Structure 1
Amino acid sequence: MEGFLYQATIYLAAAVIAVPIAARLGFGSVLGYLSAGIVIGPILGLVGSETADLQHFAEFGVVMMLFLIGLELEPKALWNMRHRLLGLGGLQVVLTTAAVMAAFMAFGETWNTALAVGMILALSSTAIVLQTLSEKGLIQTPGGRSAFSVLLTQDIAVIPMLAFLPLLATSAPLRFSEDGSLNRHPVEDAHHTMSLVEGLPGWGVTLVTFGAVAAVILTGIYLTAPVFRFIHAARLREMYTALALVIVVGIAFLMNLVGLSPALGTFLAGVVLANSEFRHELESDIEPFKGLLLGLFFITVGAGINFALFFREPLLILGLAFGLILVKGAILFAIGRAFKLRRRRLMLFTLSLSQAGEFGFVLLSFSGQLNVLPQVLSERLLLVIALTMLITPLLFLLYDWLSKKMGDSGVAPREPDEIDDEGAVIIAGIGRFGQIVNRLVQSSGIKTVVLDHDMKTIELMRRFGFKGYFGDPTRPDILRAAGLDKARILVAAMDDPDAVIRLVSYARKQKPGIHIIARARDRRHVYALYKAGADDIVRETFDSSLRAGRYVLENAGFTEFEASRAEDTFYHHDRETVRELAELWDPNIPADKNEDYIARSKELEKDLEAALQALLAEDEEAA
Structure 2
Amino acid sequence: MTGIFLQAFIYLVAAVVAVPIAKKLGLGSVLGYLIAGVIIGPITGLVGEETTTIQHFAEFGVVMMLFLVGLELEPKTLWSMRHRLIGLGGLQVSLTIAAVMAIALYLQQEWTIALSIALILALSSTAIVLQTLNEKGLNRTDGGKSAFSVLLFQDIAVIPMLAFIPLLALPELIEKAQSAVATAAEHHDELSLVTGLHGWAYGVVIICSIAAVVIAGHYLSRPLFRFVASSGLREIFTATALMLVIGIAALMSLVGLSPALGTFLAGVVLANSEFRHELESNIDPFKGLLLGLFFITVGAGIDFSILSNQLTIVLALTFGIIVLKAVVLFVLAIVFRIQGSDRWLFALSLAQAGEFGFVLLSFSVQHHVLPPDLAQTLSLVVALSMFLTPGLFILFDKIILPRYEKSSNDRKADQIDEQGTVIIVGIGRFGQIVNRLLVSNEIKTVVLDHQADQVDIVRQFGGKAFFGDATRPELLHTAGIADAEAIVIAMDNPEASVEVVHYVKQSYPKVKVIARAFDRGHSYRLRQAGADFIESETYHSSLEVGGHAMKAIGLHPFYVEQQKATYRRVEEMKSDKLYQAWQSDATEARYDNNYRKLFKRLEERMAEEMTVDRNDKHSRSERGWTPPPKGYTDSLAE
TM-score, normalised by the number of residues in structure 1: 0.66
> Residues 361 and 375 of structure 2 are in contact (CA less than 8 Å); yes or no, is this contact kept in structure 1?
yes
Equivalent in 245, 252, 258 of residue 255 of structure 2: 258
Cα RMSD for the two superposed structures? 3.5
Partner SS, residue 97 of structure 1: helix
> Residues 125 and 386 of structure 2 are in contact (CA less than 8 Å); yes or no, is this contact kept in structure 1?
yes
In structure 2, what is the equivalent of residue 240 of structure 1?
Answer: 237
In 2, the alpha carbon distance for the partners of 1:564 and 1:63 equals: 54
In structure 2, what is the equivalent of residue 145 of structure 1?
Answer: 145
In 1, the alpha carbon distance for the partners of 2:38 and 2:142 equals: 34
- The structure-2 alpha-carbon separation of the partners of 1:558 and 1:71, relative to structure 1 and needing over 3 Å to count, comes to closer
In structure 2, what is the equivalent of residue 51 of structure 1?
Answer: 51
> What does 1:91-240 correspond to in 2, within 5 Å?
91-171=91-171, 189-190=184-185, 191-240=188-237
The letter for the 2-side match of 1:71 is L
In structure 1, what is the equivalent of residue 404 of structure 2?
Answer: 406
> What does 1:217-366 correspond to in 2, within 5 Å?
217-366=214-363
In structure 2, what is the equivalent of residue 516 of structure 1?
Answer: none
In 1, the alpha carbon distance for the partners of 2:331 and 2:120 equals: 21
The alpha-carbon deviation at position 29 of structure 1 amounts to 0.4
In 2, the alpha carbon distance for the partners of 1:556 and 1:292 equals: 56
Number of paired residues? 444
In 2, the alpha carbon distance for the partners of 1:121 and 1:557 equals: 75
Query: Structure 2: any 5+ residue segments left out of the alignment?
Result: 175-179, 412-426, 434-447, 464-486, 489-539, 545-556, 563-622
- The structure-2 alpha-carbon separation of the partners of 1:103 and 1:563, relative to structure 1 and needing over 3 Å to count, comes to closer
> Residues 208 and 258 of structure 1 are in contact (CA less than 8 Å); yes or no, is this contact kept in structure 2?
yes
- The structure-2 alpha-carbon separation of the partners of 1:300 and 1:330, relative to structure 1 and needing over 3 Å to count, comes to same
In structure 2, what is the equivalent of residue 530 of structure 1?
Answer: none
In 2, the alpha carbon distance for the partners of 1:30 and 1:135 equals: 10
> What does 1:11-90 correspond to in 2, within 5 Å?
11-90=11-90
Partner SS, residue 373 of structure 1: coil
Equivalent in 394, 397, 414 of residue 394 of structure 2: 397
- The structure-2 alpha-carbon separation of the partners of 1:11 and 1:214, relative to structure 1 and needing over 3 Å to count, comes to same
- The structure-2 alpha-carbon separation of the partners of 1:315 and 1:28, relative to structure 1 and needing over 3 Å to count, comes to same
- The structure-2 alpha-carbon separation of the partners of 1:430 and 1:555, relative to structure 1 and needing over 3 Å to count, comes to farther
Equivalent in 534, 540, 560 of residue 629 of structure 2: 560
Partner SS, residue 115 of structure 2: helix
In 2, the alpha carbon distance for the partners of 1:374 and 1:210 equals: 34
> Residues 71 and 273 of structure 1 are in contact (CA less than 8 Å); yes or no, is this contact kept in structure 2?
yes
* CA deviation string 1:28-67 (max 9, x = no partner): 0000000010011000001110000000000010000000
Query: Structure 1: any 5+ residue segments left out of the alignment?
Result: 175-185, 414-427, 435-452, 455-469, 480-495, 498-539, 566-623
The alpha-carbon deviation at position 333 of structure 1 amounts to 0.2
The alpha-carbon deviation at position 407 of structure 1 amounts to 1.2
In 2, the alpha carbon distance for the partners of 1:90 and 1:271 equals: 21
In 2, the alpha carbon distance for the partners of 1:48 and 1:222 equals: 46
- The structure-2 alpha-carbon separation of the partners of 1:102 and 1:556, relative to structure 1 and needing over 3 Å to count, comes to closer
The alpha-carbon deviation at position 108 of structure 1 amounts to 0.6
In 2, the alpha carbon distance for the partners of 1:99 and 1:246 equals: 42
The alpha-carbon deviation at position 397 of structure 1 amounts to 0.3
Partner SS, residue 123 of structure 1: coil
The alpha-carbon deviation at position 199 of structure 1 amounts to 1.4
* CA deviation string 1:412-444 (max 9, x = no partner): 99xxxxxxxxxxxxxx9977999xxxxxxxxxx
The alpha-carbon deviation at position 236 of structure 1 amounts to 1.0
Partner SS, residue 108 of structure 2: coil
* CA deviation string 1:490-545 (max 9, x = no partner): xxxxxx99xxxxxxxxxxxxxxxxxxxxxxxxxxxxxxxxxxxxxxxxxx9xxx9x
> Residues 173 and 371 of structure 2 are in contact (CA less than 8 Å); yes or no, is this contact kept in structure 1?
no
The letter for the 2-side match of 1:109 is Q
The alpha-carbon deviation at position 290 of structure 1 amounts to 0.3
- The structure-2 alpha-carbon separation of the partners of 1:245 and 1:478, relative to structure 1 and needing over 3 Å to count, comes to farther
In 2, the alpha carbon distance for the partners of 1:283 and 1:73 equals: 13
* CA deviation string 1:160-203 (max 9, x = no partner): 000000010012799xxxxxxxxxxx987242321111111111
The letter for the 2-side match of 1:260 is L
The alpha-carbon deviation at position 375 of structure 1 amounts to 1.5
> Residues 156 and 264 of structure 1 are in contact (CA less than 8 Å); yes or no, is this contact kept in structure 2?
yes
> What does 1:446-595 correspond to in 2, within 5 Å?
474-476=458-460, 560-561=629-630
The letter for the 1-side match of 2:402 is K
> Residues 71 and 271 of structure 1 are in contact (CA less than 8 Å); yes or no, is this contact kept in structure 2?
yes
Partner SS, residue 192 of structure 2: coil
Partner SS, residue 230 of structure 2: helix
- The structure-2 alpha-carbon separation of the partners of 1:409 and 1:145, relative to structure 1 and needing over 3 Å to count, comes to closer
Partner SS, residue 356 of structure 1: coil
In 2, the alpha carbon distance for the partners of 1:384 and 1:107 equals: 17
The alpha-carbon deviation at position 405 of structure 1 amounts to 1.4
The alpha-carbon deviation at position 562 of structure 1 amounts to 8.6
Q: Does structure 1 residue 374 correspond to structure 2 residue 398?
A: no
Partner SS, residue 406 of structure 1: helix
In structure 1, what is the equivalent of residue 523 of structure 2?
Answer: none
In 2, the alpha carbon distance for the partners of 1:411 and 1:298 equals: 38
Partner SS, residue 393 of structure 1: helix
The letter for the 2-side match of 1:225 is R
In 2, the alpha carbon distance for the partners of 1:235 and 1:562 equals: 43
> Residues 36 and 302 of structure 1 are in contact (CA less than 8 Å); yes or no, is this contact kept in structure 2?
yes
- The structure-2 alpha-carbon separation of the partners of 1:246 and 1:172, relative to structure 1 and needing over 3 Å to count, comes to farther
> Residues 113 and 369 of structure 2 are in contact (CA less than 8 Å); yes or no, is this contact kept in structure 1?
yes
The alpha-carbon deviation at position 409 of structure 1 amounts to 7.6
The letter for the 2-side match of 1:90 is G
- The structure-2 alpha-carbon separation of the partners of 1:110 and 1:412, relative to structure 1 and needing over 3 Å to count, comes to farther
> Residues 116 and 165 of structure 2 are in contact (CA less than 8 Å); yes or no, is this contact kept in structure 1?
yes
In 1, the alpha carbon distance for the partners of 2:114 and 2:18 equals: 38
In 2, the alpha carbon distance for the partners of 1:560 and 1:44 equals: 79
In 2, the alpha carbon distance for the partners of 1:10 and 1:187 equals: 35
The letter for the 2-side match of 1:313 is Q
In 1, the alpha carbon distance for the partners of 2:626 and 2:393 equals: 68
Partner SS, residue 137 of structure 1: coil
The letter for the 1-side match of 2:381 is V
In 2, the alpha carbon distance for the partners of 1:284 and 1:557 equals: 46
Partner SS, residue 560 of structure 1: coil
